[in-house]
Structure 1
Amino acid sequence: MQTTLMNKNNGIFTVSLDFELYWGIRDKKTIQEYGQNIEGVWEVVPKLLKLYHQYGIHCTWAAVGAMMTGDFRELQQYCPKNTPSYLEKDLSPYDHFIPSSQEIEDLYLYGKTLVELVQKAQHQEIGSHTFSHYYCLEDGQTKDQFEADIQAAIAVSSVYGMEVKSFIFPRHQINSSYLEILKKYGIFIYRGTEKAWYHSPAKGSEEGLIKRAFRYLDYFVKVASHHTQKTSDLHQDGFTVIRASRWLRPYSEKIKFLDRLKLRRIKQQMTYAAKNNEIFHLWFHPHDIGIHQEINFGYLEEIFQHYKKLNQKYNFQSKNMAEIAAEYEKK
């Protein structure tokens, strides 16, 4: 007889997505530079749901609230009055981007129908990625502004009848002083960063060359650890913190010769988690795989096939973030 999660004799495979369309990349890339990736999301989401169903993958989709609206008019209904006062003005969508966004095709910004598609699928949780893709460690913004953003995110989620349980900080800018705001609004689960120093939360200006270099190398070979998590390490200060283990790097023509190393690294991490009854947490953005879809979905299929082998051999279980929290609350 197979063991169950309740007697702690299995590891966990969880997947989370930063679900954002153009809202998460608009301060870094133009539509001309990145529009094809965003357009591809409209194909990626139904394909992902089909693949998840095929392999029994449970996933948390952390959605940007602005993306959950249907059009510009609906977006305006939810925009907070107390908007972030970043010193780096381009980080805020409110002053220039939103007013001019009517010139951008809706498919880059409004994913209401995609959210509804995910909502109908089994074992898929919709969490929050803030309302505006809010940067919690950048200079100039305040706790009150973050709270206004969270209120907006919860308001738009409530239209879908959703209770937001899980949260992912944009760009992993985890601000510990803001956690009390999440508690205030009933959010007790969030994605943490890997324990290694080169994955520590930081604002954009503090992401130095050495830190990036170590992080890059870690995608292909074991630098510090397997970045898996013991279930005894889930509870921190009243939260369930499910640490990231690996961002799935999308296909790149320049480094395609490293693909085997990249996938081997991920499978080694998964195997370690399965053998040692720990958690392996894979994450990415749907827009990452918006282009070169055949190759990128090939990566996912190889990973999920490995998951099925581990499931059969070690009873490795797929759970979304809310399911993990619910199971381990019982202990």
Structure 2
Amino acid sequence: MNTGTFTISIDFELYWGVRDSRGLDAFRDRLDGARKAIPLMLNLFEQHQIHATWATVGFILCSDRDAALSAAPIERPGYENRALCPYRYLEQSTALDGRYHFAPELVELIAATPGQEVASHTFSHYYCREAGQTVAAFRADLAVAVRTAAAQGLVLRSLVFPRNQWNPDYLEVLAEHGISAYRGNEQGWLYAATNRVEQNAVRRIGRLLDSYVNLSGHHTYPLESCAGGLPLNFPASRFLRPYSRRLAWLDGLRLRRITQAMRHAARRHEVFHMWWHPHNFGIDTDQNMGFLERIIEEFEYLRRHDGMRSLGMAELADALTAR
């Protein structure tokens, strides 16, 4: 490829992404804010012709608790840590607040915005490296995700593994269900796919430091390096860490860390793949949106001067397979 590529993937989870680790009351403000931030992101993307992949938990496409339980597969993950199972949570939560769990209207808005791809984050926010789950249960989960999306006229072509627990044993299942692309992890020990227990403090602190100072490299790559059998792996390059009032004085370093990697990709005709969650913008929304605008300003400069382009994950797969 003779141009660099700016790729964005967004993990759209609502409460399903943190349900087993955060109480709803403690996270409510972020989730309310995410609902406001998503239209702002979409408007910004449309204004600047930014393409993005929205990896969406299948539950979110459901209208309510009854619809989610009705769609649920018969074979479910048998996590040893039972708190991880969302089906127990659904069955026990008879007074579920739909605002924090379901949002088919937001999915419809995403799908209607030019350049936006609705992709899969599995149906149930499935953890592929936690003890007790199996390939068979994952296959059942993905089948329901595909079927639920199809009922709304959506074809799932890309997937992001929840908590970045990508598992090579499960790639064949993706191909079976028409998934042609997935987001792998950055290279190196800091970013290795692990279960919850192995995500220790040392890894978390290392990733935090790496967001401000280049400890691990730019994690950009030639698109051709992703060639192979389907599904294709388009690894992450950088998590867009949200604004922190405590660390705001370091935001110049945080921005430089990202823009230097973008320039590296643009001038070497490589892919820079950035990701985040909508709830990361749920508080301090103005500051987070302002930071994102500065990143997009950098992309606009690189598009004008270096021909950098914006592609979602399925578009990356199309560009690669076309060659």
TM-score range, shorter-chain basis? over 0.9
Report the number of matched residues: 323
Task: Give the equivalent residue in structure 1 for 2:120.
Answer: 128
Task: Give the equivalent residue in structure 1 for 2:216.
Answer: 224
1:188 and 2:177 are equivalent in the alignment? no
What is the alpha-carbon distance in structure 1 between the residues aligned to residue 149 and residue 75 of structure 2? 19
What is the alpha-carbon distance in structure 1 between the residues aligned to residue 191 and residue 68 of structure 2? 33
Question: Please, what is the CA RMSD of the aligned residues?
Answer: 1.1
Task: Give the equivalent residue in structure 1 for 2:79.
Answer: 86
**1:197: how far off?**
2.1
Task: Give the equivalent residue in structure 2 for 1:244.
Answer: 236
What is the alpha-carbon distance in structure 2 between the residues aligned to residue 155 and residue 101 of structure 1? 24
Identity %: 38
Moved more, 249-258 or 133-142: 249-258
Once the two structures are superposed, residues 162-204 of structure 1 have per-residue CA deviations (whole angstroms, 9 ceiling, x without a partner) of 1110000001101111111111111121001111221111101
Equivalent position to 2:23, from 30, 38, 43:
30
Query: Counterpart amino acid of 2:56?
Result: A
Task: Give the equivalent residue in structure 2 for 1:3.
Answer: none
Equivalent position to 1:253, from 231, 245, 255:
245
**1:293: how far off?**
0.6
Mapping of 1:54-93 within 5 angstroms?
Answer: 54-93=47-86
Once the two structures are superposed, residues 201-239 of structure 1 have per-residue CA deviations (whole angstroms, 9 ceiling, x without a partner) of 110111233322322211111112111111121124432
**1:327: how far off?**
1.2
Equivalent position to 2:195, from 195, 200, 203:
203
What is the alpha-carbon distance in structure 2 between the residues aligned to residue 292 and residue 303 of structure 1? 17
For the Cα contact (< 8 Å) 2:7–2:272, is it kept in 1?
yes
Moved more, 155-164 or 203-212: 203-212
What is the alpha-carbon distance in structure 2 between the residues aligned to residue 188 and residue 176 of structure 1? 14
**1:141: how far off?**
0.8
Give the alignment's TM-score, normalised by structure 1. 0.95
Equivalent position to 2:104, from 112, 123, 146:
112
Query: Counterpart amino acid of 1:87?
Result: E
What is the alpha-carbon distance in structure 2 between the residues aligned to residue 291 and residue 213 of structure 1? 22
In structure 2, stretches of 5+ residues that fail to align are none
In structure 1, stretches of 5+ residues that fail to align are 1-7
For the Cα contact (< 8 Å) 2:224–2:320, is it kept in 1?
no
What is the alpha-carbon distance in structure 2 between the residues aligned to residue 65 and residue 12 of structure 1? 28
What is the alpha-carbon distance in structure 2 between the residues aligned to residue 19 and residue 52 of structure 1? 16
Structure 1 counterpart SS, 2:273: strand
Task: Give the equivalent residue in structure 2 for 1:234.
Answer: 226
What is the alpha-carbon distance in structure 2 between the residues aligned to residue 259 and residue 88 of structure 1? 38
Task: Give the equivalent residue in structure 1 for 2:297.
Answer: 305
| Structure 1 moving runs of 4+ over 3 Å | none
**1:73: how far off?**
2.0
Mapping of 1:87-102 within 5 angstroms?
Answer: 87-95=80-88, 97-102=89-94
| Residue 24 to residue 207, structure 1, CA distance change in 2 (3 Å) | same
Query: Counterpart amino acid of 1:71?
Result: D
Query: Counterpart amino acid of 2:321?
Result: E
Equivalent position to 2:171, from 163, 179, 184:
179
**1:241: how far off?**
1.0
